[in-house]
Amino acid sequence: MRHPHHRAIAGVFAVHGAVGGSLATRMPWIQDHLGLDPGVLGLALLCPSLGAFVAMPMAGRLAHRFGGRAATRTLLALWGIALALPALAPGLPWLCAALLVYGAAAGACDVVMNAQGVVVERRLGRSIMSSLHGLWSVGNFAGAGAGAAMAAVAVDARAHLALMAAVLLLAGLAVTRGLPDLRPGPGEQAPPRFAVPSRAILAIGLVGLCATVTELSGAQWAAVYTVEVTGAGEGLGAVTYAIFAAFMVVTRLCGDAIVRRLGPVTAVRGGAVLATAGAVVVATAQVPVAAIAGFALVGVGVAVTVPLVFAAAGNAGPTPGQGVAGVATITYLSGLAAPAVTGWVAGATSFPVAFGLLACVTAVMGGCAGVLRPRRARTWAGAGLGTQTGAGEVGQSRQPS
């Protein structure tokens, strides 16, 4: 990670992950402080998703107007500041408003930072997206760990989240200084205010949808599955989730080397084979160790797919920002629905049947992986991600196919 742009975008992903991990651990405090029952809190927790869904398709327009670096810096700073707002809410309406702002900043920042990652990857001429998403998870774990420690010693969430907001705001401002300053060329048309995915992006988004459905269903139900189906205790159920998450993070951190050797298409197809095998093992598991092994395989199998989907979308769209925005919207919506749909299927049939269907989903992921084949590199314009001020144009390298 010697290139300054690489270090900068890696820092952005880590800070973004830390913000998300920090709030998640303090939601019980917020629930208790406001006296909310679980049903009401669940409705309030739809607000970040709603905010992100509205903001994501508009992120390319922001980057076009202000430039990629300025947009990333501003949105990351806004999300850091928004971290402090939910704990300060005096009631449910204010909490919903705070979570809407939090989600909108998170989603828009997610788009522009992934677009920046695509540009830096193109300049370096090698795969970096998998490790960037791995660093996001590392930051998320760090933020969650700090939050858990604060909660364990009964630190007021208002003080904790205000402190974290300040720290992560400063960290975000520091790391974004090294991002490439990419701006639209003279006379280039601005992207639409609300970008609708093209057919090419929809095809890439289908691969991301399959990976996201499998990933989030596994994350949500791994512990419950191990307890309900194999008769494990709750502690071993928690271990199942921890192993699933750990295998995903390690694979993402190592995934770029795999992609450089095999190419994105072969890497996703190989991962699909592992994920499908893992889902079958889970669906047929009778003892906890088999379920744990199956979930580990699923985690390894889907780990690199979403980063590669973002990279492919950034290369396929009119600009990186528009391509990433389209795929991010698709994967985000599928991620919201996946755990619930898996639960409904399990309720109507059984957990083994639900995970048997996930094996079919990962098989589709592998079958459609050809849409991730890199296209001939080109210099983008517009969306704030086409021309780099004072540093030349985006390199003409391409990844292996």
Residue 260 has pLDDT above 80, yes or no: yes
* DSSP-assigned beta bridge partners for residue 387: 183, 393
Residue 182 has pLDDT above 80, yes or no: no
- pLDDT category of residue 398 using cuts at 50, 70 and 90: very low
Closest CA relative to residue 76, chosen from 113, 48, 50: 113
Residue 394 has pLDDT above 60, yes or no: no
Residue 300 has pLDDT above 60, yes or no: yes
| Higher pLDDT, residue 193 or 205 | 205
Classify residue 127 by its DSSP letter: -
Q: Supply 3's token pair.
A: 């290139």
Q: What is the mean pLDDT of the chain?
A: 85
The whole-number pLDDT of residue 397 equals: 32
- pLDDT category of residue 377 using cuts at 50, 70 and 90: very low
Residues found in the chain: 401
The whole-number pLDDT of residue 324 equals: 85
Kind and range of the H or E run holding 387: strand 387-388
CB 295 within 8 A of CB 242: no
Same fold flag, 4-182 and 199-372: yes
Q: Supply 302's token pair.
A: 């889907």
| Higher pLDDT, residue 111 or 388 | 111
| Higher pLDDT, residue 390 or 100 | 100
pLDDT tens profile 129-171 = 999 999 998 998 899 889 888 988 989 999 999 999 999 999 9
Instruction: Provide, rounded to the nearest whole percent, the portion of the chain with pLDDT above 70.
Output: 88
Q: Across residues 309-321, what is the average pLDDT?
A: 81
| The one-letter amino acid at 230 | T
Strand order in the sheet with 182-183: 182-183, 387-388, 392-393
- Interatomic CA distance for residues 363 and 390, integer angstroms: 46
- Interatomic CA distance for residues 282 and 273, integer angstroms: 14
Closest CA relative to residue 169, chosen from 86, 78, 52, 71: 78
Query: Domain boundaries in the chain?
Result: 4-182, 199-372
- Interatomic CA distance for residues 209 and 230, integer angstroms: 28
Question: Ranked by mean pLDDT, which of 29-43, 113-127, 135-149, 271-285 comes out on top?
Answer: 271-285
Range 250-275 burial, b when 16+ CB lie within 10 A, else e: ebbbebbebbbebbbbbbbbbbbebb
- Interatomic CA distance for residues 152 and 148, integer angstroms: 6
Within 13 Å of residue 356, how many CA atoms lie on the same side as its CB? 10
> Which of 53-57, 225-229, 266-270 has the lowest average pLDDT?
53-57
Residue 350, judged by CB atoms within 10 A of its CB (0-12, 13-18, 19+), counts as middle
> Which of 10-24, 56-70, 95-109, 275-289 has the lowest average pLDDT?
56-70
Rg for the chain (alpha carbons), in Å? 20
For the segment(s) 199-372, the CATH number from 1.10.150.530, 2.40.50.140, 1.20.1250.20, 3.30.43.10 is 1.20.1250.20
* DSSP-assigned beta bridge partners for residue 183: 387
Helix (H, G, I), strand (E, B) or coil at 154: coil
Residue 391 has pLDDT above 80, yes or no: no
Angle (CA) 148-217-309 rounded to 5° is: 100
| Higher pLDDT, residue 216 or 64 | 216
Q: Supply 384's token pair.
A: 């704030």
CATH 3.20.20.70 describes domain 4-182: no
Residue 73, judged by CB atoms within 10 A of its CB (0-12, 13-18, 19+), counts as buried
The whole-number pLDDT of residue 376 equals: 53
CB 116 within 8 A of CB 9: yes
